[in-house]
Amino acid sequence: MKKPTAPVRASHVNAGTAIPEEELAWPETSGRVVRLPRLHLEVDSRSTVTAYGGLALAADVLRRFRVAEKIDARVHVLKLYLPYHESDHVLAQALNLYAGGTCIEDQATLQHDEGVKRLLGACRLPDPTTAGDFLRRFDARRNPESLAGLRAAVDEAQEEVWGALAGRRKRKRDWAVVDLDGHTKELYGEQKEGADFDHRGRWSYNVLLASLAGTGECLGVRNRPGNQRSSEGAADLLADTLPRVGRRFAKVLVRADSDFDRRDVRKACEAEGAFFAFVAREAANRLAWAEAIPESAWKPFRTRAHRERQGHRAAAGFVPRRKKRNRRRRRARERGYTNLQLVRQWVAEIPWTPAGSDKTYRMVIRRQLIEESEGQESLFEFYRYRYVVTNLPRSWSPAEVIDATYQRCDQENVIEQMGSGLAMWRMPVAEFDGNCAWLEIGRLAWNLGKWIAQLALPPEVVRWEWKRFRQAFVHVAAEVVHRSRQRWLRFSPAHRFLDLLIAAHVQLQI
């Protein structure tokens, strides 16, 4: 069976910023290069300039996949349109997050930007107070279909983007790897509806997230009280998510941590024909199984990162660098702390049949040899075991199962960027359903960046952090001009990503 390809990794090198040495300007006189001359200011009322010229790419995607029409067809929370429709509110809030707004109040920046309004073809945009009122209208008791309609609109747009990425042949793409995880969002508002105390005593929500590995697209998000387990409701989320993923991908693999090692989640995966690979819980009986495995069954194991380093060192022309002093280990010894060091690892596999089930799964066990030292005293050795439960076929070796399972840890970067890069975890209103709607709007804003990167930008852009993405493709000064009953954007040629931005705009028009 063909394995899923390795995820695209964003380069840590700031590519594209270097200037050839022969093109570097040189000061004509001696002294400092930064001279800070006296400046004079004036206002030109004839030009309409915006700092958010890169919103043109987001507008291209929204128009191409008719996102506004999908929202208006499914979301009905307004009785009168004075003058805004549901799509006006949703797109305004999504673009506010996409452009770097960290709360509803930041929507006023776009509201008062004449260039943004011209770019979007709008005479006005909703006020932040109106935006908050719109979120409060999502009420499952009075209008149970409103939130489901918003989710369905974003889901349909996502499927159409997948279809465009598959090409004209509409052939299914090979693999989709779905990562599940929970995120606890601590709250400071005492009147937040639906909040509760988590296991650490924090007043919070507990958000369940499903994302697509490699691209980081958000497949589904559910808000829950803080006292619930991370895996609570995961089976229902998979039942909603996996059917549409299966329509566009030939094979699906679901990965998660040990809290998702439960019967209903496994059944939800099998019901849709998906594979799963979950980190299994530690238990006394599983420890006994691991210790009963004969020594000949254990195979040496090296992590993927270790194998990559070994391959790099074996390459021709490799010159090793002098290893720097391990200051952390030195300080731990000085203070007499216990230091644990991983020495070697092995893998083995046994069949496992859950209690009350007639199905047998693969349980891959990783044995780790740990050295324990306290200061300069003698060393002690002990073994630690880690478990993975999976229904992947036998063509996957135990080492490959371990590699695939633990690549799910990259989802922690996705969750962190959703908070620091997009303000998706803001939870701006007191109503529980309103905050659920905010998460769906944040999901649309998050996916906009991922869709643009996949449809029209270099592959590594999909892995960029939001700060870098905005500086390159959102925060671009542009003049908005009406000419021949058309809207034109004039950019400065000094922007270093201008060629990519223009090429992306042309590609998204197709």
pLDDT given at position 430 = 96
The pLDDT value recorded for residue 5 is 66
% of residues, the chain, pLDDT over 90: 74
Range name among 140-144, 338-342, 434-438 with the lowest pLDDT average = 338-342
pLDDT at residue 379, rounded to an integer: 63
pLDDT band at 1 (very low <50, low <70, confident <90, very high): low
**Which residue in 304, 263, 278 sits closest to 392, CA to CA?**
278
What is the Cβ-side half-sphere exposure of residue 131, based on CA atoms within 13 angstroms? 26
3-class SS of residue 372: strand
Do 176 and 282 lie in a common domain?
Answer: yes
- Residue 13's pLDDT band, with cuts at 50, 70 and 90, is very low
Q: What is the CATH number of the domain that holds 239?
A: 3.90.350
Question: pLDDT > 70: what percent of the chain?
Answer: 95
Q: Do 380 and 452 sit in the same domain of this protein?
A: no
Which pLDDT does position 42 carry in this prediction? Answer: 82
Rounded to an integer, what distance in angstroms lies between the CA atom of residue 138 and that of residue 145?
9
pLDDT at 403: 94
CA-nearest of 65, 63, 56 to 165 is 65
Write out pLDDT tens, residues 425-481.
Answer: 999 999 999 999 999 999 999 999 999 999 999 999 999 999 999 999 999 999 999
Please give the average per-residue pLDDT across 131-155, as a whole number. Answer: 95
- In a domain? residue 40: no
pLDDT band at 333 (very low <50, low <70, confident <90, very high): confident
Q: What does the pLDDT average to over 71-78?
A: 96
> What's residue 509's pLDDT?
87
Q: Which of 420, 445, 472 is the last residue of a domain?
A: 420
Can you spell out the DSSP letters for 228-250? S-TTTTHHHHHHHHHHHHHHHEE
Average pLDDT, the chain: 92
- Tell me: do 128 and 208 sit in the same domain: no
Domain match, 410 and 455 both: no
Is residue 381 domain-resident? yes
Least confidently predicted of 5-14, 117-126, 247-256, 481-490: 5-14
Cα–Cα nearest to 185, from 209, 155, 213: 209
Are 229 and 268 within one domain?
yes
- 372 within domain boundaries: yes
Banded pLDDT at 299 (limits 50, 70, 90): very high
Domain count, the chain: 2
| Residue 169, pLDDT above cutoff 80 | no
237 shares its domain with 289: yes
Question: Which range has the worst mean pLDDT, 123-127, 181-185, 345-349, 357-361?
Answer: 357-361
- Count the residues in the chain: 510
- Give tens-digit pLDDT for 366-391: 999 998 876 555 567 789 999 999 99
Does one domain contain both 230 and 375? Answer: yes
Tell me, yes or no, whether 439 and 405 share the same domain: no
pTM of the model: 0.92
Amino acid at 47: S
3-state secondary structure 418-481: HHHCCCCCCCCCCCHHHHHHHHHHHHHHHHHHHHHHHHHCCHHHHHCCHHHHHHHHCCCCEEEE
Which of 396, 420, 444 finishes a domain?
A: 420
Select from 379, 402, 420 the last residue of a domain.
420
Q: For position 22, what pLDDT does the model report?
A: 78
Question: Does residue 318 lie within any of the structural domains?
Answer: no
> 243 preceded by cis ω (within 30°)?
no
Can you tell me the distance from the alpha carbon of 241 to that of 219, in angstroms, rounded to the nearest whole number? 7
pLDDT beyond 60 at 168:
no
- Residue 328 binned pLDDT confidence (cut-offs 50, 70, 90): confident
CB 4 within 8 Å of CB 404? yes
Cβ proximity of 454 and 90 under 8 Å: no
- Whether residue 157 lies inside any domain: the answer is no
User: In this structure, is residue 16 part of a structural domain?
Assistant: no
Residue 307 resides in a domain = no
Both 218 and 178 in one domain: the answer is yes
Whether the predicted pLDDT of 274 surpasses 80: yes
Return the pLDDT at 20: 74
Please check whether residues 446 and 335 belong to one and the same domain.
Answer: no
User: In Å, how far are 147, 215, 405, 495 from 176, measured between CA atoms?
Assistant: 26, 10, 14, 36
Do residues 289 and 270 both lie within one domain?
yes
Residues 222-268: tens digit of each pLDDT: 999 999 999 999 999 999 999 999 999 999 999 999 999 999 999 99
* Within a domain: 320: no
Determine the Cα–Cα distance for residues 188 and 371; give it in Å rounded to an integer: 43
**Inter-residue contact 47 to 110 (CB < 8 Å):** no
Kindly state whether residues 368 and 276 are assigned to the same domain: yes
Domain of residue 106 covers 46-146+430-508
